[in-house]
Chain A
Amino acid sequence: GAGVSQTPSNKVTEKGKYVELRCDPISGHTALYWYRQSLGQGPEFLIYFQGTGAADDSGLPNDRFFAVRPEGSVSTLKIQRTERGDSAVYLCASSLGAAQETQYFGPGTRLLVL
């Protein structure tokens, strides 16, 4: 049984570049969440999808961040004009439905902006 998968596992980029991070949720899970974890902190919410639509994007820090989930399964988090402060672990989680309490996390993508 596959869990949540994320690619790439590590990404190193230069300041100002564009990056895409991919999340493949557990099959059948309709709710998908993105979180960001900085060193020494707990994960912080970015955005959540119910199906194809972004039901809550209140955690996105600014308009350089954008996420899509066009077919209601795989999601891509897109970061434009990356800054050094974007360096963090980006975590994806999914749950059976939005009201299902347990969210299952992927291993994360470690983003380093030089």
Chain B
Amino acid sequence: DQQVKQNSPSLSVQEGRISILNCDYTNSMFDYFLWYKKYPAEGPTFLISISSIKDKNEDGRFTVFLNKSAKHLSLHIVPSQPGDSAVYFCAARGTPYSGAGSYQLTFGKGTKLSVIP
């Protein structure tokens, strides 16, 4: 049973437009959420994160929104650039005290973003 779901395997966006990547989770005990970007043959690179006590976090062109009641988060990239083309993974973390396992990350399957020049 997948606890973190990214239902769109791929997304294509024109350069300069907004990219919106979505993620849903089922475990209400998750308390921290992260987005990683991955290029081929490289490890995941941390992009941005959000604590469950917030509903928005912004870092430059990247904004993450969290809707706890819907168990949904999204990553907005604006404006999108060709260098943003990569696979984006949503990850969630609990703690040993929250009932969501230990400190390991639970990942979605990823969304491949293609930004077209």
Interface residues of chain A, those whose CB is within 8 Å of chain B, are 4, 6, 31, 33, 35, 40-45, 48, 55-56, 58-59, 91, 93, 95, 98-99, 101-108
- Chain B: residues with CB nearer than 8 A to chain A? 4, 32, 34, 36, 41-46, 49, 51, 89, 91, 93, 95, 101-110
Contact with A105, one of B45, B49, B102 (Cβ below 8 angstroms): B45
A59–B104 touching, CB < 8 Å: yes
What's the Cα separation between A74 and B42 when bound, in Å?
20
Closest to B91 in A: A42
| Shortest CB distance A36–B (Å) | 11
Q: Which of B32, B95, B104, B109 contacts A41 (CB 8 A)?
A: B109
Write out the residue numbers on chain B whose beta carbons fall within 8 Å of the beta carbon of A107: 41-43
Q: List 7 A-B contacts (CB under 8 A).
A: A42-B109, A45-B104, A56-B102, A101-B51, A103-B34, A107-B43, A108-B42
Q: Which B residues are CB-close (under 8 A) to A93?
A: 105
The listed residue with most A CB atoms (<10 A of its CB), out of B34, B41, B51, is B41
Known: A91-B43, A105-B44. Contact between A42 and B104, CB under 8 A? no
A33 partner, pick from B36, B104, B106, beta carbons under 8 A: B104
Interface pairs A-B: 3 shortest CB-CB: A42-B107, A105-B43, A45-B104
Contact partner of A45 (CB less than 8 A), chosen from B43, B106, B110, is: B106
Q: A55-B102, A56-B104 are in contact. Are A105 and B36 (CB under 8 A)?
A: yes
Cβ of A13 to closest chain B Cβ, rounded Å: 19
Instruction: State whether B107 touches A101 (Cβ < 8 A).
Output: no
* Distance, CA A48 to CA B94, complexed state (A): 14
